[in-house]
Chains A and B, each alone.
Chain A
């Protein structure tokens, strides 16, 4: 028996989630609802640990749940659940970031205030795992657009580069993040 409490918890999660998904394959709505409820929290934790206070955190969680729903027929109950789950979450998170949805209304005003306060922005970026491995240019571009709430045009003006150059930096930065997440393997 494993003495590591975290490993025991993962193992218990794995068994419970796989069991609920197997029931959901049979059409059990209650099991499926419980599964999605637990997965939503697990996905939020996964993204928070890696991306910190990301603007689009809730979008990433909901898009991942939607993707899990659409892809549920690709889960093979005889295989582990967590690798399947986190592959989908990883892809959807990068996908949401790549689409770079702009924020609206009060949330955008709040984000712009953060963007004009470098210390607050720095606080938000402290300990964000995925940014640590990026080149400085890529990190700046991603920090301004995904953590300070700037549009591409605002971020490009802030950095003194063209919008096309900013988008290229964003693209390369997201590619680096994708590679870093892939290299991580199964999340710990």
Chain B
């Protein structure tokens, strides 16, 4: 073996520290999802109460429940894939990001269908004064936490990692707004989904900068 290579291997072996917990474990992913969701919930409750009767509406209206369940599945898919992108894998990038984006598209399509036939009667009940700001800001801590985790691992696609984490983090308050704020398809798109999902762009930019290739 070449002497320089041999020296490098000896140096790296001498530098070896035990790995306490491998990155990307299910426990860490679950903790991020629960932590981020809990933060959004608490932040919303601190500003104001949820819409009266929103939980009952979920039980009474299957399509409204489906909207929320699909949103939850989308958030889990985006978050898990975003964090897993920071673990080296032979699977091509497009194959890894397709399914969470398809779920996101399906979720948005369900709301778009609501313009034609809303799942609940549009109403101003429960309107929050600054819901668009809450939707935009409440996801930021989760995004930063996710980027911090990804940075400690080995991200190979910084922009995509940041984008998916931003979409997941922004979709959390946007989803909770369905229960906390007024229900009207145009209001949902403009004031809940758009500001929340804009975090995907913020995440992509932050990821390009913070998660540059090692």
Contact = CB atoms under 8 A, between A and B. Distances in A.
Interface of A: 24-27, 29-30, 32-33, 36-37, 40-41, 58, 61-62, 65-67, 69-77, 83-84, 86-88, 91, 95, 182-183, 185-186
Given A36-B13, A91-B156, A58 B90 contact: no
Interface in B77-115: 86-90, 92-93
Given A36-B13, A87-B156, A25 B22 contact: yes
Contacts of B1: 37, 40-41
A186 B89 CA distance: 10
Given A40-B1, A83-B90, A33 B18 contact: no
A72 B21 CA distance: 11
Contacts of A32: 12-13, 16
A72 B18 CA distance: 10
Nearest to A80: B90
B9 A87 contact: no
Interface residues of B, number: 32
B88 A71 contact: yes
Interface of B: 1-2, 4-5, 8-10, 12-19, 21-25, 86-90, 92-93, 153-154, 156, 213-214
9 contacts: A25-B22, A29-B16, A32-B13, A66-B8, A73-B19, A73-B22, A74-B154, A87-B156, A182-B93
Contact of B90 (A41, A62, A95, A186): A186
Contacts of B89: 83-84, 87
A58 B2 contact: yes
Given A24-B19, A27-B18, A73-B19, 20 more contacts: A24-B16, A25-B19, A27-B17, A29-B14, A29-B16, A32-B16, A58-B4, A65-B9, A66-B12, A67-B214, A69-B12, A69-B15, A71-B214, A73-B21, A74-B86, A76-B25, A84-B88, A84-B89, A87-B156, A88-B88
Contact of B18 (A25, A65, A83): A25
Given A40-B1, A71-B214, A87 B90 contact: yes
B19 A61 contact: no
A83 B213 CA distance: 18
B5 A87 contact: no
B213 A62 contact: no
